[in-house]
A and B are shown apart, each in its own frame.
Chain A
Amino acid sequence: MLALRAVTIVAVGCTLGLLWNGFSGRGFALTGNAFILEGEEFEEIPAATAKARLDKGALFLDSRPLAFYEMSHIPGALPLPEDDFEGAFARLEPRLRGSLDIVVYCSGYGCEASHIVARKLRERRVHAAILHEGWPAWTDAGYSTRPGPQP
Chain B
Amino acid sequence: MTSRPAWPAVLRHPSLHWILGALLGAVFVYASLDKIANPREFARIVYHYRLIGPSATLGFVPANLLAATLPWIEVVAGALLIAGIWRREAAAVAGSLLVVFIVAVAWALGQGIDLESCGCFTVSGGGRGAGLWLIAGDIGLLAAAAVLTFVRPAARTALRSGAVAVSN
Classify the secondary structure of B's interface with A: helix
- The residue in chain A whose Cβ has the minimal distance to the Cβ of B71 is A17
CA distance A112 to B37 in the complex (A): 21
Q: Give the contacting residue for A17; candidates B50, B54, B72; CB below 8 A.
A: B72
Tell me if B36 and A34 are in contact (CB < 8 A).
no
Which positions 66-83 of chain B face chain A at CB distance < 8 Å?
67-77, 80
Tell me if B47 and A17 are in contact (CB < 8 A).
no
Instruction: Report the number of A-B residue pairs with Cβ-Cβ less than 8 Å.
Output: 106
Tell me if A16 and B76 are in contact (CB < 8 A).
yes
**How many interface residues does B have (CB within 8 Å)?**
42
Q: Give the contacting residue for A109; candidates B36, B47, B72, B76; CB below 8 A.
A: B47
Name the B residues within 8 Å of A20 (CB-CB): 36, 39, 68, 72
Which positions 11-29 of chain A face chain B at CB distance < 8 Å?
12-14, 16-18, 20-21, 26-29
Residue ranges of A at the interface with B (Cβ–Cβ < 8 Å) = 1-2, 5-6, 8-10, 12-14, 16-18, 20-21, 26-35, 37-38, 109-110, 112, 133, 137
Residue ranges of B at the interface with A (Cβ–Cβ < 8 Å) = 36-41, 43-44, 47-50, 53-56, 59-61, 64-65, 67-77, 80, 86, 88-90, 92-93, 96, 113, 149
